[in-house]
């Protein structure tokens, strides 16, 4: 038998995800005579009769026969919910709606959503919302394409400009897209449906495109048998009088009261017996505190349900749940292996990552690996003192890092770098920016132990002592002069080392280009080995010169040119010096 496709709603915050879902619900509720809307835990089921009612004239015009039993919308719109929900072999959602404000275009969370959809190879439709906010827009009844044609030429031009800005931005992320009525091949192009959550324009077309795509390309994936249930935990909560309850999306099979179930946990799995199955009464939003629940004897995929089953206290969001058929031990081993694929698939070295759920962790690790970022340890839940200790114990500072997605920032004091964010896109971007800064700091610290390139001039009339040691005034013509810098002449002959630097009668360790300072030069006499007006260079050891090549991005153009000049001097004596 065919089940409802599971539809996830994704997109950037404030782009109208919740409003769109509310409008879809409202449209369905308005069609009460067609079957209305069924509320289930974490999901809104729009049955076939309601789809027919909402999309009536479209179905008649296209002579389209709907065979799927309806659509099941995940009621927790947003990328975090989407990545939290997974099943064996991929993500829980069969298809997704990517919500984009037509007036703002793609934003960070939108881009992240596209990356996640691409990773899971999940087909999606783009709903460009807030078309009623376009300057000059006059809302029309009927199909949205007819409504667009009825606008003034200036409004149509503004609409098309904004629409193709979205098309262009999506294309930059490797996705071809066009307005749904202009798409020639739905396997190669994403359909864009203009909608208004305020007026309802485009809602019938959105439901129609979702239904058509699911029916045309997902029919094999929607086949389900009434065998043991398979599900994914959406939320774990404490309910007064019932203890720990699980809000679960059942994506395959049937689940009944008194069934035995096995639930995966971060440490293994637990088995329990279903004491009760609860679903909201009427059309109440299940997350409202006042929502009333009624017991049901059984549920069939795809749906959402609240499960009361004593003994599931170790469960966390995103974990798989299965009904028992056969050996409990075998099922436990299978679930353990499935969870281990995410938790144990780590590298010998790298950073530590934590997330709020199994699906979130998996998505984070996939995106990190795509960017070549190695993960040494991963886990579900908040950052622990053990995580902090592990990060602090790493010798490589670049790996003494903990990244957390959708979890609270720890209050522990630590030398490790700890970053948390509820947007994977930003979490990874911030980490990569931190890495660049760290690499720069590491490079600069490496440079500090090398003899830096410099060119100085011994100023005429500024000999304060001729020898033992000679103290003279110099100007730094290029580069950086540091204490203990060896100096050579223009022929590459080592003359002396700088033993002290004074700037305005203060001892300093270094002086940059343009500064005039007094320097102490042992083992030379002014007028013999060195002369007023002479140009001297830092005598860079050959091994230091080679190391500069590794850190050249931290050198100024002035220092790079000076290094070339010093190399030319040294190669007069040794043609392969520094090579």
pLDDT in tens, 192-228: 999 998 888 999 999 999 999 998 888 888 888 889 9
Residue 95 in contact with residue 122, Cβ under 8 Å?
Answer: yes
The reported pLDDT for the residue numbered 31 is 56
User: Looking at residues 389-397, what average pLDDT do you find?
Assistant: 87
Q: Is 414 exposed, middle or buried (0-12, 13-18, 19+ CB in 10 A)?
A: middle
User: Looking at residues 432-439, what average pLDDT do you find?
Assistant: 87
What is the total residue count of the chain? 579
Percentage of the chain modeled with pLDDT above 70 = 90
Select, from the ranges 39-53, 368-382, 558-572, the one with the highest average predicted confidence (pLDDT).
558-572
The reported pLDDT for the residue numbered 285 is 46
Residue 283 has pLDDT above 70, yes or no: no
User: Looking at residues 269-281, what average pLDDT do you find?
Assistant: 88
How would residue 448 be classed by pLDDT, with cut points 50, 70 and 90? confident
Among 53-57, 121-125, 497-501, whose mean pLDDT is lowest?
A: 53-57
The residues facing 231 across adjacent strands are 250, 321
Return the closest-CA partner of residue 158 out of 177, 184, 132.
Answer: 132
The model's pTM is 0.66
Return the closest-CA partner of residue 460 out of 528, 513, 535.
Answer: 535
Residue 492 has pLDDT above 80, yes or no: yes
Residue 132 in contact with residue 203, Cβ under 8 Å?
Answer: no
The residues facing 455 across adjacent strands are 478, 537
Return the closest-CA partner of residue 546 out of 569, 573, 576.
Answer: 576
Return the closest-CA partner of residue 213 out of 45, 95, 117, 122.
Answer: 95
Residue 107 in tokens = 């934003």
Instruction: Tell me the C-alpha distance between 50 and 28, whole Å.
Output: 6
More confident residue, 23 or 35: 23
Task: Give strand ranges (E) for 483-554.
Answer: 486-488, 494-497, 500-503, 506-508, 510-512, 516-521, 535-538
Average pLDDT, the chain: 86
Residue 165 has pLDDT above 90, yes or no: yes
The reported pLDDT for the residue numbered 542 is 93
The reported pLDDT for the residue numbered 481 is 94
* DSSP-derived secondary structure letter, 253: S
Instruction: Tell me the C-alpha distance between 226 and 237, whole Å.
Output: 28
Centre a 10 Å sphere on the Cβ of residue 437 and count the other Cβ atoms it contains: 10
In the three-class reduction of DSSP (H, G, I as helix; E, B as strand; rest coil), residue 356 is classed as: coil
Q: Is 521 exposed, middle or buried (0-12, 13-18, 19+ CB in 10 A)?
A: buried
Domains (range + CATH), the chain? 6-217 (3.40.50.300), 230-335 (2.40.30.10), 345-448 (3.40.50.10050), 454-571 (2.40.30.10)
The reported pLDDT for the residue numbered 550 is 78
- Please, where are the H alpha helices in 94-152? 108-120, 144-149
Residue 325 in contact with residue 232, Cβ under 8 Å?
Answer: no
Residue 24 has pLDDT above 80, yes or no: no
Residue 320 in contact with residue 88, Cβ under 8 Å?
Answer: yes
Longest CA–CA span in the chain (Å) reads 108
Half-sphere exposure of 396 (CA within 13 A, CB side): 11
More confident residue, 134 or 21: 134
List phi, psi (to 5°) of 276. -160, 150
Among 219-223, 513-517, 534-538, whose mean pLDDT is lowest?
A: 219-223
Select, from the ranges 3-12, 69-78, 261-270, 454-463, the one with the highest average predicted confidence (pLDDT).
454-463
List phi, psi (to 5°) of 214. -60, -45
More confident residue, 216 or 155: 155
Select, from the ranges 104-113, 184-193, 226-235, 311-320, the one with the highest average predicted confidence (pLDDT).
184-193
- In the chain, the N- to C-terminal Cα span, in Å, equals 72
């Amino acid at each position: 038998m065919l089940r409802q496709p599971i539809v996830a709603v994704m997109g950037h915050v404030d782009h109208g995800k919740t409003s769109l879902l509310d409008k879809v619900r409202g449209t369905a509720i308005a069609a009460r005579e067609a079957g209305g809307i069924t509320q289930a835990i974490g999901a809104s089921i729009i049955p076939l009769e309601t789809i027919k009612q909402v999309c009536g004239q479209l179905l008649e015009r296209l002579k389209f026969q709907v065979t799927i039993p309806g659509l099941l919308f995940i009621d927790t719109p947003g990328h975090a919910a989407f990545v939290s929900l997974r099943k064996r072999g991929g993500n829980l959602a069969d298809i997704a709606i990517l919500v984009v404000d037509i007036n703002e275009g793609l934003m960070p969370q939108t881009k992240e959503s596209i990356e996640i959809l691409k990773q899971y190879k999940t087909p999606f439709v783009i709903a460009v919302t807030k078309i009623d906010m376009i300057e000059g827009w006059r809302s029309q009844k009927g199909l949205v394409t007819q409504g667009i044609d009825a606008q003034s030429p200036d409004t149509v031009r503004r609409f098309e400009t904004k629409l193709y800005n979205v098309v262009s931005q999506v294309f930059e992320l490797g996705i071809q897209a066009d307005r749904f009525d202009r798409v020639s091949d739905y396997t190669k192009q994403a359909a864009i449906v203009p909608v208004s959550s305020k007026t309802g324009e485009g809602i019938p077309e959105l439901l129609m495109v979702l239904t058509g795509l699911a029916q045309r390309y997902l029919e094999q994936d929607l086949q389900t048998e009434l065998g043991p249930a398979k599900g994914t935990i959406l939320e774990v909560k404490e309910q007064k009088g019932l203890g720990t309850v699980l809000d679960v999306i059942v994506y395959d099979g049937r689940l009944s009261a008194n069934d035995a179930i096995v639930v995966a946990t971060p440490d293994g799995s637990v088995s329990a017996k279903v004491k009760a199955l609860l679903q909201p009464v009427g059309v109440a939003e299940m997350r409202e505190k006042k929502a009333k629940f009624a017991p049901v004897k059984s549920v069939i995929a795809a749906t959402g349900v609240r499960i009361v089953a004593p003994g599931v206290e170790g469960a966390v969001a995103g974990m798989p749940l299965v009904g028992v058929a056969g050996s409990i031990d075998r099922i436990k081993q299978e679930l353990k292996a499935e969870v281990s694929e995410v938790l144990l698939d780590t590298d010998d070295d790298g950073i530590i990552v934590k997330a709020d759920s199994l699906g979130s962790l998996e998505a984070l690790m996939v995106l990190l690996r795509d960017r070549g970022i190695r993960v040494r340890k991963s886990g579900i839940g908040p950052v622990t003192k053990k995580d902090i200790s592990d990060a602090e114990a790493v010798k490589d500072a670049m790996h003494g890092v903990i990244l957390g997605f959708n979890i609270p920032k720890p209050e522990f004091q630590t030398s490790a770098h700890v970053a948390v964010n509820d947007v994977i896109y930003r979490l990874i971007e911030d980490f990569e920016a931190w890495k660049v800064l760290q690499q720069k700091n590491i490079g600069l610290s490496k440079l500090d132990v090398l003899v830096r390139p410099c060119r100085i001039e011994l100023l005429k009339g500024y000999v304060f002592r001729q020898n033992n040691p000679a103290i003279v005034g110099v100007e730094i013509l290029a580069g950086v002069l540091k204490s203990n810098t060896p100096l050579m002449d223009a022929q590459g002959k080592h003359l002396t080392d700088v033993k002290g630097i004074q700037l305005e009668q203060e001892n300093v360790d270094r002086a940059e280009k343009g500064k005039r300072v007094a320097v102490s030069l042992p083992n030379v006499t002014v007028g013999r080995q060195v002369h007023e007006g002479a140009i001297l260079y830092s005598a860079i050891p050959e091994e230091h010169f080679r190391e500069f090549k590794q850190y050249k991005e931290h050198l100024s153009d002035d220092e790079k040119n000076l290094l070339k000049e010093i190399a030319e001097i040294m190669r007069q004596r040794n043609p392969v010096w520094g090579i």
